[in-house]
Structure formats: C-alpha cells, structure tokens
Amino acid sequence: MQLTHIKAVVFDLDGTLVDSALDFAAICDDIGWPRGTPLLEQLALTQDVTEHHRATEIIRRHELQGALEARWMPGAERCLQQLAQSGFKLALLTRNMREATFLTIERLGIPINQVLTREDCAAKPDPEGLLRFSASLQVPVQQMIYVGDYIFDLQTAANAGVASCLYLNQSNQHFASQADWCFAHFNELAQALRR
C-alpha cells in the first residue's frame, strides 16, 4: 500500500502499541458473562444499577492492572520516535478508560498527547474518534491511517473513511483481508511511512 500521502497516524493502545496482558475471557468470567461478550456493548445494555456498577468495577480493576503491567510492543517506541521526528501528527484512540490509558502513557512515556478514550467519544467501531482527530489535527481522513490489532479497529477506520493498518499477531490473522495494510513488526510501519 502506498503511504506517502499520510500526514497523521492514529494508534490503538492495548494489543497495538503496548502489551497490557488484558485477558478479556477472564474479565467475562469475573463478571459472569459468556466468554467473547463485547464488554462495553453488554455494559450499555445492563439496566440494573447494582449490576452495572459491579461489572464496571470489575472491568476497571482489570484495566488498571493492565496499565500497571503494560510494556511496549517490539519496535513500537522507536517507531513513534521516528514518526514524530519526521513530522507526522500522532494520536491515540482506545476503548480503554481514561484513568488506565493515562496511567499507561505516563508509565511508558508514550509520546502522544492527542488521546481519546471511551469517556471522550463513542466507543469503536463508531467513527466519532477518528473524525474528531481529523478535525482537531486539521488532516483530511484520506491522509490518515488507523493502526490497530482487532476487528473493531478495522471497522472504525472503514466507518470513518480512514485507511486501516493491522498489526499482526498470532490470533488476528483472519482479520487481515479486511485491512488496507498489515505489518508484523513496527520497523515495517516506520519504513513504509519513511519520508
């Protein structure tokens, strides 16, 4: 894929820039939901106030633990440094909560200050976050890419008219056909965006 026209790169956080070891099956188990249940969507459907609060607290506990354990994906830190030095506008869009997101950013020194979490905009795959970045960064969607590791990331990009970039791992290869571009190591992304 030709990436020379790209001016802004938006990243997902967990599973993309960092490995936070978030175990979504374990979160479902702790709440008592079937494994594979989309957490935020199910939470939105939970009308009982006590149950909603209980589920929210379990998710919060797991996300904060993930933030404390998060570590850089191989090559991601250097890639961000290279992109920043080359003048790319960088942003971060995550379904994670703000508290855990900023704890991760602070702990690892992630050099991105344009950040939207699930408290700031509609959760992925809604395109609101990417469209807001397009406006705030003053970059047309055609000159942005969204880098993520999950189907929601690819759907979000498609819904916003932004090119999608899948960071490949052992369990997401089956999403590759839905991505505009795929890479297995951040060196490849840095190389593709080299100016």
Burial (0-12, 13-18, 19+ Cβ within 10 Å), 156: buried
- Phi, then psi, of 148 in degrees rounded to 5: -150, 180
**Chain segment 56-107, per-residue pLDDT in tens:** 999 999 999 999 999 999 999 999 999 999 999 999 999 999 999 999 999 9
Domain ranges of the chain: 8-19+71-192, 24-69
pLDDT tens for 2-12 read 678 999 999 99
In the predicted model, is pLDDT for residue 1 greater than 70?
A: no
Q: What are phi and psi of 20, to 5 degrees?
A: -100, 5
Question: Using 50, 70 and 90 to split pLDDT, how confident is the model at 139?
Answer: very high
pTM of the model: 0.94
- With contact defined as beta carbons under 8 Å apart, do 185 and 1 qualify? no
36: left (phi over 0), alpha (psi -120 to 50) or beta: left
Q: Per the structure block, which two tokens stand in for 118? A: 């699930």
**Residue 181 structure tokens:** 């571009």
Q: Domain 8-19+71-192 adopts which CATH fold?
A: Rossmann fold (3.40.50)
Give the whole-angstrom CA distance, residue 55 versus residue 31: 6
